[in-house]
Amino acid sequence: MTGAAAAARNLAPRLAERAGGYDAAGVFPAEDFADLRDAGLLGLMAPQRLGGDGAGFADYTEVALELARGSGSTALIYNMHASVTGALAHTPDELARALGAPDWFFQERDRILKAAADGALYAVAMSERGAGSRLSQLATVYTAEGDGYRIKGRKTFVSGAGHADAYLVAARSADDPAKVSQFLVPAGDGLTVEETWDSLGMRATGSHDLHLDVVAPREALLGGLEGLALLVAQVMPQWLVASYAAVYVGVAQAAVDAAVAHVTARGVSELPLVRARIGRADAAVAAARLAVTEAARRVDQSPGEPETNQWVWRAKLLAGDTAMEVAASMLAASGTSATRRGNALERLFRDARCGALQPATSDVCADWLGVAALGGDPYADSETPRW
Ligand SMILES: Cc1cc2nc3c(=O)[nH]c(=O)nc-3n(C[C@H](O)[C@H](O)[C@H](O)COP(=O)(O)OP(=O)(O)OC[C@H]3O[C@@H](n4cnc5c(N)ncnc54)[C@H](O)[C@@H]3O)c2cc1C
């Protein structure tokens, strides 16, 4: 286990203690993020030369899984931050230069990553009402204005909204609608949070709506190039697809842990049917964890390979479905007393339900994998665009 994963494991009990309160209030877990910051975890993906840990994708999955055993919401907000910093840190310089990234992009990238190592938090504002996370359908637009870009639109489901230092915003060019670009827009004037998040699970993510009518500086354009969003989704699916997987394996494990504590305290742990549910859940979580670990190992060793990407989509499907099924079974094993508000299992059951709904949804993952297994091209052979 890395030092960062050990730090996350040490923090998990504190996150777990607070998770019920933040869930009930439906508010951003500020104390959790103060702890993450103090432990240096916001700099996990930043290179060591900039004060970070220089972590790989496998290191991230270990950290996210440990955090999620404490609080799914906190781990999910952290996942968004890691996606921004990880994708930036792991894009090879040669690739960025080959695509045409200007020199200033490399300075800007280093500034963003150094700020993360110093404790800055980044959020992702991709989804929109009516479009979900399908980049090809986004309505938020940008136009060149002065030295920068005016970005106008309305985002939804923005985890950590109002608490991030900057937001990764996906937007379409008004002049050339085929171009969907990514910006890292600093918090401040021109961004307004509308508190709309009152949902079934992951309630403490505070995934509110974000309204944008802002002029972002030229340097906010990630990569220094327009039209990169769909390419990044296809080339680095791990940050859009599999990074959630670790979170939901952690939530599933937390559901097993909570059920073990509950059935033991309740005196029903020796009932054979209860024991068998715990045994099946234990095996299912271990299997999902192995799939995530295998995907992560391949992402670090051979990123972008077809076989790697197949594991990335498998990991997301298995983690999302396992979390949902295991949490439901653990509730069945524990009984009605575990459905009371305030019981950890009641919250974990709701949190676990979200995994299969986050992009790529379990259905979309299964379709992608089905096309691949049938010998097709899962990106091209689809009636609807994947993103
Ligand atoms: C707890 C939580 C936190 C979130 N945090 C963030 C965040 O920080 N930032 C952010 O940008 N978003 C976030 N999201 C939003 C999420 O990532 C998705 O964008 C959103 O859930 C999808 O929107 P939707 O409700 O329109 O459903 P959709 O994903 O559009 O799904 C609706 C239906 O269409 C199907 N479908 C979707 N895409 C395709 C496709 N390509 N091909 C075929 N069928 C498809 C689905 O399987 C489903 O049946 C969060 C969501 C949750 C639950």
Using one digit for the tens of pLDDT, what is the confidence trace for 312-324?
999 999 999 999 9
**For strand 191-194 and strand 208-216, is the pairing parallel, antiparallel, or unpaired?**
antiparallel
208 in ligand 1 pocket by Cβ < 6 Å?
no
DSSP 8-state code for residue 241: T
**Ligand 1: which residue has its CA nearest to atom 25?**
132
| Dihedral angle over CA of 378, 379, 383, 387, nearest 10 | 130
82-106: pLDDT as tens digits:
999 999 999 989 988 988 899 999 9
210 in ligand 1 pocket by Cβ < 6 Å?
no
pLDDT at residue number 312: 95
**Ligand 1: which residue has its CA nearest to atom 28?**
132
- The CATH class for the domain spanning 3-121 reads mainly alpha
Pocket test for ligand 1, best of 81, 157, 230, 324 (most atoms within 8 A of CB): 157
Q: What is the mean pLDDT of the chain?
A: 95
Fold of the domain spanning 241-373: Butyryl-CoA Dehydrogenase, subunit A; domain 3 (1.20.140)
127 in ligand 1 pocket by Cβ < 6 Å?
yes
Q: In the chain, pLDDT over 70 holds for what percent of residues?
A: 100
Ligand 1 atom with minimal separation from the 123 CA:
8
158 in ligand 1 pocket by Cβ < 6 Å?
yes
Ligand 1 atom with minimal separation from the 126 CA:
11
19-31: pLDDT as tens digits:
999 999 999 999 9
DSSP 8-state code for residue 55: -
145-197: pLDDT as tens digits:
999 999 999 999 999 999 999 999 999 999 999 999 999 999 999 999 999 99
371 in ligand 1 pocket by Cβ < 6 Å?
no
Cα 301 to Cα 64, 235, 307, 317: the distances in Å are: 20, 15, 12, 21
Overall average pLDDT of the 334-353 stretch: 97
Region(s) of the chain under CATH 2.40.110.10: 123-227
CB 215 within 8 A of CB 185: no
Pick the CATH number of 123-227 from 3.30.499.10, 2.40.110.10, 2.102.10.10, 2.30.130.30: 2.40.110.10
pLDDT at residue number 235: 76
pLDDT at residue number 132: 86
272-294: pLDDT as tens digits:
999 999 999 999 999 999 999 99
Pocket test for ligand 1, best of 23, 78, 121, 127 (most atoms within 8 A of CB): 127
CA 15 to centroid of ligand 1, rounded, Å: 26
**Ligand 1: which residue has its CA nearest to atom 32?**
132
The confidence band for 385, taking pLDDT boundaries of 50, 70 and 90, is: confident
Q: What is the pTM of this model?
A: 0.96
Ligand 1 atom with minimal separation from the 385 CA:
41
CA 170 to centroid of ligand 1, rounded, Å: 15
CA 277 to centroid of ligand 1, rounded, Å: 30
Residue whose C-alpha is closest to residue 205's, from 293, 283, 127:
127
Region(s) of the chain under CATH 1.10.540.10: 3-121
Q: Residue 193 contacts by C-beta under 8 Å, 6 or more apart in sequence?
A: 158, 161, 162, 208, 209, 210, 211
Phi-psi region of 154 (alpha: psi -120 to 50; beta: other; left: phi over 0): beta
Region(s) of the chain under CATH 1.20.140.10: 241-373
Phi-psi region of 258 (alpha: psi -120 to 50; beta: other; left: phi over 0): alpha
d(CA 257, CA 280): 13
- The two three-digit tokens of residue 282, written as one number: 């234990």
CA 131 to centroid of ligand 1, rounded, Å: 8
Overall average pLDDT of the 294-299 stretch: 97
DSSP 8-state code for residue 341: T
d(CA 59, CA 90): 13
Ligand 1 atom with minimal separation from the 130 CA:
26
